[in-house]
Amino acid sequence: MNTNTRHKNSVFSFLFSTSDALRELYSAIEGVSLPPGIPIGINTLSDVLYMEQINDISFTIDNRLVVLIEHQSTVNENMPLRLLIYIARVYEKMTDRKKLYQKKLEKIPVPEFIVLYNGKAPYPEHKALKLSDAFKDAGDLLPSVSGSPALELTVQVYNINKGCNAALLEKSETLMGYSVFIDKIREYRKSMPQEEAMKAAIKYCLDNNILKPFFEANSSEVFNMLLTEWNTEEAKEVWFEEGREEGREEGREEVRKIIELLKTGKSPDEIIRDYSL
Instruction: Tell me the pLDDT tens digit for each residue of 95-124.
Output: 988 899 999 999 999 999 999 999 989 999
Helices (H), 31-150: 79-94
Sort strands 40-42 and 49-50 into parallel, antiparallel or unpaired.
unpaired
How far apart CA 201 and CA 117 sit, in angstroms, is 20
Q: What is the reported pLDDT for 206?
A: 96
Percent of the chain with pLDDT over 70: 74
Mean pLDDT to the nearest integer, 236-257: 57
Q: What was the pLDDT predicted at 53?
A: 42
Q: CA-based angle 174:178:180, to the nearest 5?
A: 115
Tens-digit pLDDT profile for residues 171-200? 999 999 999 999 999 999 999 998 899 999
Give me the chain's average pLDDT, please. Answer: 82
Greater confidence, 268 or 99? 99
Q: For residue 86, which of 122, 104, 65, 112 has the smallest C-alpha distance?
A: 112
Q: Are 28 and 172 in contact (CB under 8 A)?
A: yes
Whole-number pLDDT of residue 4: 37
Integer Cα distance of 24 and 33 in angstroms: 8
Percentage of residues in the chain with pLDDT exceeding 90? Answer: 55
> CB–CB of 134/81 below 8 Å?
yes
pLDDT of residue 174: 96
pLDDT (tens digit per residue) in 34-91 = 988 899 999 887 654 443 446 789 999 999 999 999 999 889 999 999 999 999 989 9
Report helix, strand or coil for 257. helix
Q: Tell the burial category of 211 from Cβ atoms under 10 Å away from its Cβ (0-12, 13-18, 19+).
A: buried
pLDDT at 246 > cutoff 90: no
For residue 5, pLDDT over 60 is answered with no
The rounded distance, in Å, linking the Cα atoms of 33 and 35 is 6
Kindly provide the residue ranges of all beta strands, DSSP E only, lying in the chain, ordered along the sequence: 40-42, 49-50, 53-54, 57-61, 65-72, 110-117, 126-130, 154-159
d(CA 197, CA 199): 5
Please state the pTM of the whole predicted model: 0.77
Helix (H) or strand (E) holding 184: helix 173-188
At residue 259, the pLDDT reads 59
Work out the burial of residue 113: count CB atoms within 10 Å of its CB; fewer than 13 is exposed, 13-18 middle, 19 or more buried: buried
Contact status, residue 106 vs residue 99, Cβ threshold 8 Å: yes
- Length in residues, the chain: 277
At 266 the pLDDT is 59
Least confident of 119-123, 138-142, 207-211, 230-234: 230-234
- Better pLDDT: 9 or 13: 13
